[in-house]
């Protein structure tokens, strides 16, 4: 597995500041939480970014929206231990705004602030198109191949959860996992989204079949498929 780390070149994603003067730049930090510093007469903005990056890494200071390239896939850290997946074509859009994972009533979306307005990342990369849906129901998978135009009813149907089937989203695994425990024994099956386009369907189907195998025919609620 080839893994590369790409640090942002936007100073707003670091603790510290950059000031531009007539012929040079200055970089520093007045943070009360971390060591203070100041460096003047810097020739370029990029040099200032390098100083902020070294300052953050040396002092274990969080950096917003660090990007990881794993093989040919791109991931972005969006806080709350969440990782967003996106396309290489959107690298600049990831870098230009500070993106964050939302909780509460806006739970699960990656959003940022543009012109004092909070917007969703998947709409931003699609020219602010509103009627968009994530095919695999994963709001952190913002690759364009995972976005589609749908009506409101399809959006609501796609948001329904499924008992026993959960999304696995980290650097090592990205897919749907089905899991059931019977008589203190755990049974698990994992389907990679990269390998199976219908990974959630397969995981749900496996869960349903496993219930029948272990417990016999049962009546399931509307979230399940294939058993009556």
For residue 39, being part of any structural domain is answered with yes
For residue 180, being part of any structural domain is answered with yes
For residue 67, being part of any structural domain is answered with no
Kindly report, residue by residue over 142-200, the tens digit of the pLDDT: 999 999 887 665 565 455 545 688 888 776 778 889 998 877 888 999 999 888 888 88
Inter-residue contact 92 to 80 (CB < 8 Å) = no
For residue 70, being part of any structural domain is answered with no
3-state secondary structure 39-99: EEEECCHHHHHHHHHHHHHHCCCCCCCCEEEECCEEEEECCCCCEEEECHHHHHHHHHCCC
The torsion angles phi and psi of 111, rounded to 5 degrees, stand at -135, 165
173 and 143 in a common domain: no
For residue 43, being part of any structural domain is answered with yes
Kindly report, residue by residue over 74-126, the tens digit of the pLDDT: 999 998 889 999 999 999 999 999 999 998 756 789 999 998 899 999 999 99
Inter-residue contact 83 to 77 (CB < 8 Å) = yes
Domains of the chain: total: 3
Q: What is the pTM of this model?
A: 0.67
Give the residue from 135, 158, 181 where a domain finishes.
Answer: 158
52 and 9 in a common domain: yes
Range of the domain at 152: 89-158
């Amino acid at each position: 597995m080839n893994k590369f780390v790409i640090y942002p070149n936007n100073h707003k994603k670091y603790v510290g500041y950059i000031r531009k003067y007539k012929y040079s730049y200055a970089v520093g930090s007045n943070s009360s939480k971390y060591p203070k510093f100041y460096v003047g007469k810097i020739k370029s903005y990029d040099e200032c970014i390098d100083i902020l990056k070294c300052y953050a890494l040396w002092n274990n200071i969080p950096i917003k929206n660090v990007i990881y390239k794993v093989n040919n896939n791109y991931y972005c850290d969006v806080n709350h231990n969440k990782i967003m997946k996106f396309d290489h074509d959107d690298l600049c859009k990831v870098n230009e705004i500070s993106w964050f994972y939302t909780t509460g009533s806006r739970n699960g979306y990656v959003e940022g602030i543009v012109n004092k307005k909070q917007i969703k990342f998947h709409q931003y990369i699609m020219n602010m198109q509103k009627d968009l849906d994530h095919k695999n129901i994963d709001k952190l998978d913002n690759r364009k191949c995972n976005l589609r135009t749908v009506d409101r009813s399809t959006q609501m149907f796609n948001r329904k959860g499924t008992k026993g089937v959960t999304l696995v989203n980290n650097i090592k695994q990205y897919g749907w996992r089905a899991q059931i425990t019977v008589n203190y024994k755990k049974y698990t099956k994992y389907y990679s989204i990269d390998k199976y386009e219908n990974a959630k369907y397969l995981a749900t189907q496996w869960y349903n079949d496993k219930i029948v195998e272990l417990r016999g025919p049962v009546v399931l609620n509307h979230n399940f498929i294939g058993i009556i």
